[in-house]
Structure 1
Amino acid sequence: MQNDLDIEFEKAFVEISKLEEAVAPDLMLKLYAYYKQANFGNNFSFKNDIDVRDAFKLNAWIQLNGMKSDEAKKEYIKLAETILNHK
């Protein structure tokens, strides 16, 4: 059963996913990292043939090491709202 935070997180993810306009790369990296931390925690994974883009994504995620899932969801929601309110 989903709680209010999970529902809000999922809604923010769907709304961001619907955007047709490009979002600044630094904000996309933050969204990616919060999403991964919220869903996978500190279970960092990467491919052996990592490219530069994947390295940036992995680095952004690793910077959130130790952040609790709920906190990552809250940060994702906050950032998504900021992006959506400026579009």
Structure 2
Amino acid sequence: MKNEKLYKNFSEAVQFVNNYEGQLPADVKLKLYAFYKIANENKNHPGSKTPLINAFKANALIQAKNLSRKEAMTAYVKLAKSLR
């Protein structure tokens, strides 16, 4: 039951962020990116055509690498709520 609520909250937070119309600071975007990637267990290369952007994304992932999937989901939800 608790996991279902976390997955629901995470899904709603992702939808909120995807529909967010304001301008997000770069550090917030990078944290959201890292939390999302870890939460979805996506270990693929960042994939930007710009090496500098890849470096920032890789750094964000390194900083969050010790988070479990559930911790990343919780962190994503908390950060998304702070944007409201």
TM-score by length of 2: 0.84
Gap regions ≥5 residues in structure 1: none
User: Which structure 2 residues correspond to residues 35-74 of structure 1 after superposition, within 5 A?
Assistant: 35-40=36-41, 43=43, 45-47=45-47, 51-74=51-74
User: Per-residue CA shift, 1:54-84, capped at 9, x if unaligned?
Assistant: 2101110121113100000000000000012
User: Which structure 2 residues correspond to residues 14-29 of structure 1 after superposition, within 5 A?
Assistant: 14-29=15-30
Over the matched positions of the two proteins, sequence identity in percent amounts to 33
In the comparison of the two structures, how many residue pairs are matched? 81
Instruction: Say yes or no: does 1:33 pair with 2:34.
Output: yes
Gap regions ≥5 residues in structure 2: none
**Cα shift at 1:25:** 0.6
Runs of 4+ in structure 1 off by over 3 angstroms are: none
